[in-house]
Structure 1
Amino acid sequence: MKILLILPGTYPYRIGGVSTWAHSLISNLKDLKFDILSVMDGTHLTPKFSIPPNVERVYLVKRGSSPFRNNRSHEFMRDLREEFIPSLRLLLNYLLENGSCELAAKAVSKLRRSFVRYGQEMLFRSREVWSFFKRYLSGKNWLGDMSIWELNHSIRLLGDFLKPLELDLGRYDVVHSALAGFSGLIGIVQKLEYGASYILTEHAIYYRERFYDMIGCGDSFRRFWSIVFRRISELNYCWADEIITVSKFNARWQKELGADEKRIKIIPNGVDANRFKPISEIVDRWAVVSVIRIDPLKDVMNLIEAMSYVADEIPEARCYIYGPVTDHRYMDYCMARVSDLRLEDHVKFMGCISNPEVAYNRGWVVAQPSMSEGAPIAVIEAMACGKPVVATEVGGVPEILGDAGILVPPRNPKALARGIIKILSDERLAEELGLRARMRVLRKFTIQKVVREYMETYRELIRSRAEKPS
């Protein structure tokens, strides 16, 4: 069985929940062979994980990094006019005019041929494509007028999102995408051209998180991309053989976005409970720990604000934040806010850590302040370490935490502070919640359970494909 695992923005180049899930899945399915397709921004990328031996190849697509080669040959111009632009029009018709998902998939397959032959930069920097895109959008009166900058940025983004189509991949038995976004188009093409099985696992709802990204953008730009992101998700749902998600919360969103309920399966995230376990000797009695990336969606600012209230009540309290910086401007805002609130002695940014189980065990309480989540592995890891967790009531967090922690409203620093203070002030409550948390993980969220379910999913899809008449 040959599997292509598509991991945009994550494994093996970035630490985070999806990367942890991918590494655990591959490492525990030792009898299967994987290729990895990673789609990343940036140029200086080094793996943050040791690649397991059952990974045969890692494809890295760097968005916005291709050298520009001008080509005005007769052959290129003919292909541009007769194949590429008509196929791009069909895709845009699907995205903006409720076109057929079958025609959209065929259009993507044709676009792929042009991408493989000429590359994204050559196609999307041509005057003809830019002029077509401008004319096409100008005919959509309901969209409103985009500025020249927004038009340029939109066509650049569209080209970058479609860039994985440049890869001339071989045939796979299974394509498994960790995102219902543009990178999932590879799975659709593989299914259409080679009959591969296409699996989708959504840890967080792609459309929902992209919507947060567009807060503050211009009206026309936001309207255009809101529709595009939603329709790309719907296209993935239309073609996926299995739509796996990590929580009931996500499943409700998927159904709302048009996914077939019969193809939705919930496989929660899981952790290695032998690695993530209590280590009582290193606990700091007044430590609040958070293991999150520094990113607006994780709402680190919420935790900083909360710590100002905690420090007023419990001066001994210290907050240690572990995780990579994915938004450096946001990190600057966070550091400035720490300074404004004079919390330099109470809030410490610790950077990445290779052994997060040590970080969790250092804390008396673990805080998760996000404004949006799917089913955060960090919460499960903390629970496995026997830690009481105070978390925002977002996404699948309530399903994970159950009665083994404290839920608070998102974007409410006072409520988050009250939860933290409650656990710091009550040793018996902290111990009781920690025990409940550990037992809940052992019952519901072990990596062994997750691996068994994915293995059975792969096998069932291969069996079903073999039984279909050719």
Structure 2
Amino acid sequence: MRIGLLTEGGYPYATGETGLWCERLVHGLGQHQFDLYTLAGTGTPRPLPPNARVARTAGRDGLSGPDTGPARTLLERTAFGDHRTARRAYGRRDRRRFTEAFHRLAVGLCAEDAPTSAGPDTASPAPDPTDAFAEGLYALAELARERGGLPGALRSDDAVRTLEAACRAPGARRGAADAGLPDHLAFADHLERTLRPLSLDWYEEDALGAADLCHAAAGGTTALPGLLAKRFFGTPLLVTEYGVQLRSHYLSTAADRSTPLRTLLAALHGRLAAETYRQAALLTPGNAHARRWQEKCGADRARIRTVHPGMAADRFAEVGEDEESGDPATLIWVGRVEPAKDLIALLHAFAEIRARQPDTRLRIVAVPTADPGAGAYLAHCKGLAAQLFPDEAAGAHAVGENPVCFEELGGPEAPTLEDAYASGAVVVLSSIVEGFPASLVEAMFCARATVSTDVGAVVEIIGGTGLVVPPRNPRALADACLALLRDPERRYRLGAAARARALELFTVEQNLAAFRGIYLELLSHAPVRHRPGDGVPFAHPAESHVPGSWAHKAVSAGTGAPDA
């Protein structure tokens, strides 16, 4: 089977959770051929196994590059004769096509959501704005595929005027109706960057047209090429979301943006998510939290299947099997140092723990991050620790006896994750925002009892094998930690149960087994498409190779169409 794997800013050009998952998928399913289509991919790709290749790469400017390297510049593409993404002007006929398509898309964006059913005085239900958005989106894609020039048109005066008219039309969202010219210009710029995948040269028979299945490693813009592959070639689309793109857009909305602009941006990403969920053959969220977001955006429950992300468990085996490891009076926190982790609440909770059990220690192990704001937050946390424990900070204890230790993963105190988890008895997660916390699963692999705040997928991961408290509640966090510190037997019991649960649900093996079955299931329901050079054994159902016209007659009988 040939899989078109769609990624954005990740594998094979970058690391991170999504990149690691893609790498394990490609290496673990060696019986399939993976063609990698990467948006915003730059640099040198990581080494690939024999069953994978970089088919297409688009740089951050949205221009498609050659099969085995980073994106070319606009000048280079023009020199190669590829004008599809050039910012050229349309003729009269193409301008009319663009205006009509963009008008449908803009109306779908700006209109309020249609009611679920018509009222008693309504002759027919109101048109669904999602349908108008989809019609405009695909019409723009067809125009870009045939004529090119879409990036320039999306930034044109015609586009801005059409957007302004849609915002002022009856039935428009209240926030959109208040948008001014600066909002329209800013939104047109964002819309052009979001829709750059429409102008790529990926939609050919020798590119995505050759894939048996498109697998998007995220929703939103990443899945957009998969939508077009389904539109142009009927290729099934599988969307995996371990972090919901729509939620990320909502959370990342800058405070300095106006309310009308935030309304338009939310509408754009909401409509794109809804269309992706509607067209996907199957959605595989990584947890119930992501699944609820998909359902709220209109995804059909029958086409959603939760597949937990797979994590390597072997590296933690030695720690997990050693019941005697770990200081029984030490709490461990591991993660990226950022405000969402709420280390402030953890330090206040530890001050209460320390007052009630003076021999307790807290190790904060920071995972290196490129976030420029991490250093300032870490300094703030260290300053708070010095205020909460003034005697220890002033040197009343011997060197190394400070109850709070700030360390960096990879340093002499915590060279590896295994060493960090092995040094303590209880692992703490104090976050106020989480998706799928990998550190919690790692602690479970190490057979550590855990205390976590009730955010994201924490309850789903823990499943009764650890203690869960409300976020932003230092007193509850302190009480739960003390309960485990004072009860060794309970710690061992919960830790053993946590390790068994993690090995059953969150390993790489279970993740690969799930996608191995999903690929075969989706292909079995997809229409058979013969291509020159096929001939891979069992690539298609055996019945498709039986000579004769019985298959056509069967289709005709099923649809009621007359036989040829």
Q: TM-score range by the shorter chain?
A: 0.7 to 0.9
User: Which residues in structure 2 correspond to 1:299-338 (within 5 Å)?
Assistant: 299-300=340-341, 302-311=342-351, 313-314=353-354, 316-325=361-370, 327-329=371-373, 331-338=375-382
Q: Which has the higher helix share?
A: 1
CA 454–133 in structure 1, closer or farther in 2 if over 3 Å, else same? same
Partner deviation per Cα, 1:81-110 (whole Å, 9 max, x = no partner): 223333222223333335465654453333
CA 72–292 in structure 1, closer or farther in 2 if over 3 Å, else same? closer
Bigger mean CA offset, 56-65 vs 153-162: 56-65
Q: Which has the higher contact order (CA 8 A, sep 6+)?
A: 1
- Give, as a single letter, the amino acid of the residue that structure 2 aligns with 1:55: A
CA 304–26 in structure 1, closer or farther in 2 if over 3 Å, else same? farther
| TM-score of the superposed pair, with normalisation by structure 2 | 0.71
CA 429–71 in structure 1, closer or farther in 2 if over 3 Å, else same? closer
8 Å CA contact 1:201, 1:243 repeated in 2: yes
Q: Provide the C-alpha distance between the structure 2 equivalents of 1:146 and 1:337, rounded to a whole number of angstroms.
A: 41
Say whether 1:151 aligns with 2:184. yes
- Give, as a single letter, the amino acid of the residue that structure 2 aligns with 1:151: H
User: Which residues in structure 2 correspond to 1:31-430 (within 5 Å)?
Assistant: 31-40=31-40, 50-57=47-54, 59-63=56-60, 76-78=90-92, 81-97=95-111, 98=113, 99=128, 101=130, 104-113=133-142, 115=144, 118=148, 121-139=151-169, 140=172, 142-143=174-175, 144-146=177-179, 148-169=181-202, 170=207, 171=209, 172-214=211-253, 216=255, 217-279=257-319, 283=326, 288-293=331-336, 299-300=340-341, 302-311=342-351, 313-314=353-354, 316-325=361-370, 327-329=371-373, 331-342=375-386, 346=404, 348=406, 350=408, 356-424=417-485, 426-430=487-491
Q: Which position in structure 2 is the counterpart of 1:460?
A: 521
CA 46–319 in structure 1, closer or farther in 2 if over 3 Å, else same? farther
Q: Provide the C-alpha distance between the structure 1 equivalents of 2:410 and 2:144, rounded to a whole number of angstroms.
A: 37
Q: Provide the C-alpha distance between the structure 2 equivalents of 1:361 and 1:142, rounded to a whole number of angstroms.
A: 55
Tell me the CA shift for residue 21 of structure 1: 2.5
- Give, as a single letter, the amino acid of the residue that structure 2 aligns with 1:462: L
Partner deviation per Cα, 1:168-192 (whole Å, 9 max, x = no partner): 1121211112333132221111111
CA 316–248 in structure 1, closer or farther in 2 if over 3 Å, else same? closer
Tell me the CA shift for residue 438 of structure 1: 0.8
Q: How many residues of Structure 1 are paired with residues of Structure 2 in the alignment?
A: 462
8 Å CA contact 1:95, 1:232 repeated in 2: no
Indicate the SS of the match to 1:199.
strand
Q: Provide the C-alpha distance between the structure 1 equivalents of 2:327 and 2:99, rounded to a whole number of angstroms.
A: 62
| TM-score of the superposed pair, with normalisation by structure 1 | 0.84
- Give, as a single letter, the amino acid of the residue that structure 2 aligns with 1:193: F
8 Å CA contact 1:162, 1:182 repeated in 2: yes
Q: Which position in structure 1 is the counterpart of 2:23?
A: 23
Tell me the CA shift for residue 320 of structure 1: 0.8
Q: Provide the C-alpha distance between the structure 2 equivalents of 1:246 and 1:219, rounded to a whole number of angstroms.
A: 32
List alignment gaps of at least 5 residues for structure 1: none
Of 487, 491, 498, 1:437 maps to 498
Bigger mean CA offset, 410-419 vs 20-29: 410-419
Q: Provide the C-alpha distance between the structure 2 equivalents of 1:213 and 1:288, rounded to a whole number of angstroms.
A: 32
Q: Bigger radius of gyration, 1 or 2?
A: 2
- Give, as a single letter, the amino acid of the residue that structure 1 aligns with 2:174: W
Q: Provide the C-alpha distance between the structure 1 equivalents of 2:52 and 2:311, rounded to a whole number of angstroms.
A: 21
RMSD: 3.6
8 Å CA contact 2:87, 2:150 repeated in 1: no
Tell me the CA shift for residue 120 of structure 1: 6.3
Identity %: 27
Q: Which position in structure 1 is the counterpart of 2:531?
A: none
Q: Provide the C-alpha distance between the structure 2 equivalents of 1:412 and 1:38, rounded to a whole number of angstroms.
A: 42
8 Å CA contact 2:332, 2:362 repeated in 1: no
Tell me the CA shift for residue 193 of structure 1: 0.6
Bigger mean CA offset, 432-441 vs 188-197: 432-441
- Give, as a single letter, the amino acid of the residue that structure 2 aligns with 1:3: I
Q: Provide the C-alpha distance between the structure 1 equivalents of 2:96 and 2:90, rounded to a whole number of angstroms.
A: 10
8 Å CA contact 2:281, 2:303 repeated in 1: yes
Tell me the CA shift for residue 13 of structure 1: 4.8
Tell me the CA shift for residue 46 of structure 1: 6.3
Tell me the CA shift for residue 34 of structure 1: 1.5
8 Å CA contact 1:383, 1:438 repeated in 2: yes
Q: Provide the C-alpha distance between the structure 2 equivalents of 1:6 and 1:410, rounded to a whole number of angstroms.
A: 35
CA 426–7 in structure 1, closer or farther in 2 if over 3 Å, else same? farther
CA 316–293 in structure 1, closer or farther in 2 if over 3 Å, else same? closer
8 Å CA contact 2:335, 2:365 repeated in 1: no
Tell me the CA shift for residue 368 of structure 1: 3.1
8 Å CA contact 1:199, 1:241 repeated in 2: yes
List alignment gaps of at least 5 residues for structure 2: 64-72, 76-84, 114-127, 355-359, 388-392, 394-401, 529-550, 557-564
8 Å CA contact 1:269, 1:377 repeated in 2: no
CA 141–272 in structure 1, closer or farther in 2 if over 3 Å, else same? closer
Q: Provide the C-alpha distance between the structure 2 equivalents of 1:392 and 1:183, rounded to a whole number of angstroms.
A: 31
